[in-house]
Amino acid sequence: MLSRIRAGAFAILAALVLAHPAAAARMPKLIDQNGHAFTFADLRGTPLIVTFIAAHCTDACPLINAQFAQAEQRFAQSHTRVHLLTITLDPEHDSLRDMRDIARRFHADPHRWILADGSLADVHSVMAAFGVQAQQGRKGYADVHTTFVYYIDGRGMLRKTILASTVLTDQLVGLVR
């Protein structure tokens, strides 16, 4: 199953990230914590680490956010060029304000760590491209979900898919160096 996710994400990411300008109009647009629209093509040229979280999740998501915050600090200290991208996996409930609140809570530098929302169609399109699965939990939020992190090189090629763990920060820093 993981190889199918990797292959599917790789093919779709290549189309998303490396799209020609004419295709850019059809690319899913996301909205960052400052309210600016962007596409994956806008992030081309710099390594990109992508994950998906639910703002109302009380299980793995806060831990992933904390580890992304630690990784961001380490990248900043070492002057490493990289983008971290956290995308909602519950666009039915997570608002741009929720993503902005997470960015504030974890002191996300928007030049390095982007927390994104978007239209239902665009977020679901990106989730499908990565093979992200999410289901409603007991409280009605999409808090039953996959917890993969994706490393994409500066040319837009998916290089590694990892499962979030307690050593995520070290793994992310090791991938980019």
Give 77-132 pLDDT, tens digit per residue. 999 999 999 999 999 999 999 999 999 999 999 999 999 999 999 999 999 999 88
Q: Is 13 a residue whose pLDDT tops 60?
A: no
Facing residues of 130 across strands? none
- Residue 42 is given by DSSP the state G
Q: Please classify residue 22 by burial: count the beta carbons closer than 10 Å to its beta carbon, then call 0-12 exposed, 13-18 middle and 19+ buried.
A: exposed
Give CATH superfamily name and number for 2-176: Glutaredoxin (3.40.30.10)
Share of the chain above pLDDT 70, in %: 84
Segment holding 77, helix H or strand E: helix 60-77
Q: What is the pLDDT of residue 59?
A: 85
- Over the chain, what is the mean pLDDT? 86
Tell me the pLDDT band of 146, cut-offs 50, 70 and 90: confident
Phi, psi of 163 (to 5 degrees): -85, 130
Name the pTM for this structure. 0.85
Query: What ranges do the domains of the chain cover?
Result: 2-176
Single-letter amino acid code for the residue at 49: I
Provide the CB-side half-sphere exposure for 109 (13 A, CA).
13
Name the least confident of 122-126, 133-137, 145-149: 133-137
Task: Indicate if the pLDDT at residue 167 is higher than 50.
Answer: yes
- pLDDT bin (cut points 50, 70, 90) of residue 6 is very low
Contact in structure between 46 and 82 (CB atoms under 8 Å): yes
Q: What is the pLDDT of residues 68-78, one digit of tens each?
A: 999 999 999 99
- Burial of 135 by CB count in 10 Å (0-12 exposed, 13-18 middle, 19+ buried)? exposed
Cross-strand partners of 37: 31
Q: Which long-range contacts (CB under 8 A, 24 or more apart) does 126-129 make?
A: 126/16, 126/28, 126/30, 126/87, 127/52, 127/87, 127/89, 128/12, 129/8, 129/9, 129/12, 129/13, 129/16
